[in-house]
Amino acid sequence: MLILALDTATDKGSLALVAADQLLAESSLESRGTYLTRLLPEVEALFRHTGRQLAEIGAVAVSRGPGNFTGLRIGLATAKALAWSLNCPLVAVPTMEALAAQFPCHPDPIGVLLDAKRNEVFWGLYRCPADLPQELSPPERLPLGQLRPRLTPPLTLTGPGLKVYGDFLEPSLPLGVTLAPLELREPRAASVARLGRLRLALGLTVSPAQLIPTYLRPAL
């Protein structure tokens, strides 16, 4: 099955095209300010590059948040329009789960950190013993000062929030709390596609009319 995956939850978005468990192509969208004008042209370019056709799409997977409000709205609206027009299943993947999924078979819990602005963070805790992450605590929005008590070793920290708050956190991290490599801290559409395929197999699809973003806070 051909799956198109979209991730526009953060400033560094991406999209991917996956057939079964093979990544056919993935492209990056470096700025959320360009999503409105670049997302659909990049989808078209992805299909031209792979020689596939839009009509071949078997499912659309999309990162549903939390994250940037504007990016999420654009990504979800695009995914819903494609799924509706192509009459194919739509799968919503939590953004934090997609980040945790980049550490399959990892021995330690994975703490996922996103910038929620106004000196707040989005925080989620997962374990990923196989392909599908297991939620250890529900994603939540926290003042930055309330984050440190949750950083209990052993723990691997990841997520684009480290770009904003890593320098603040690192000097006081307990022994046994490590930071993920830089290249694994951003969400990837390829991970959204992989989780989308697993969720699709479990029947976890959503109607385009019912899909809403996960914000965890009122819009600013």
Tell me, letter by letter, the H, E, C secondary structure of the chain: CEEEEEECCCCCEEEEEEECCEEEEEEEECCHHHHHHHHHHHHHHHHHHHCCCHHHEEEEEEECCCCCHHHHHHHHHHHHHHHHHHCCCEEEECHHHHHHCCCCCCCCCEEEEEEEECCEEEEEEEECCCCCCEEEEEEEEEEHHHCHHHCCCCEEEECCHHHHHHHHHHHHCCCCEEECCHHHCCCCHHHHHHHHHHHHHCCCCCCCCCCCCCCCCCCC
Whether 209 is covered by a domain: the verdict is no
Amino acid 131: pLDDT:
86
Question: In which band, very low, low, confident or very high, does the pLDDT at 108 lie, cut at 50, 70 and 90?
Answer: very high
Examine the domain organization and report whether 135 and 88 are in the same domain: no
Q: Residue 33 pLDDT > 90, yes or no?
A: no
- The mean pLDDT of 124-130, rounded to a whole number, is 95
Residue 208 lies in a domain: no
Dump pLDDT digits (tens) for 152-202. Answer: 999 999 999 999 999 989 998 999 999 999 999 999 999 999 999 999 999
Return the CATH number at 80.
Answer: 3.30.420.40
What CA–CA distances, in Å, run from 49 to 24, 45, 46, 79, 191? 9, 6, 5, 20, 20
Mean pLDDT, to the nearest integer, of 95-120? 96
Task: State the pLDDT confidence band at 217, using cuts at 50, 70 and 90.
Answer: confident
Residues 67 and 123 both lie in one domain? no
Model pTM score: 0.94
Q: Does residue 217 lie within any of the structural domains? A: no
Mean pLDDT of 42-71: 95
42 and 52 belong to one structural domain: yes
Q: Is 25 within the bounds of a domain?
A: yes
Co-location of 197 and 88 in the same domain:
yes
Q: Do residue 69 and residue 135 come from a single domain? A: no
**Does residue 51 lie in a domain region?**
yes
Residue-range definition of the domain harbouring residue 153: 96-184
8 and 63, same structural domain? yes
* Residues 78 and 131 grouped into a single domain: no
74 & 104 share domain: no
Whole-number pLDDT of residue 158: 98
Overall domain count for the chain = 2
**Residue 136 · residue 110 · CB < 8 Å:** no
Shared domain for 24 and 60, answered yes or no, is yes
Is residue 12 located within the same domain as residue 85? yes
Q: What is the pLDDT of residue 32?
A: 62
pLDDT of residue 218: 64
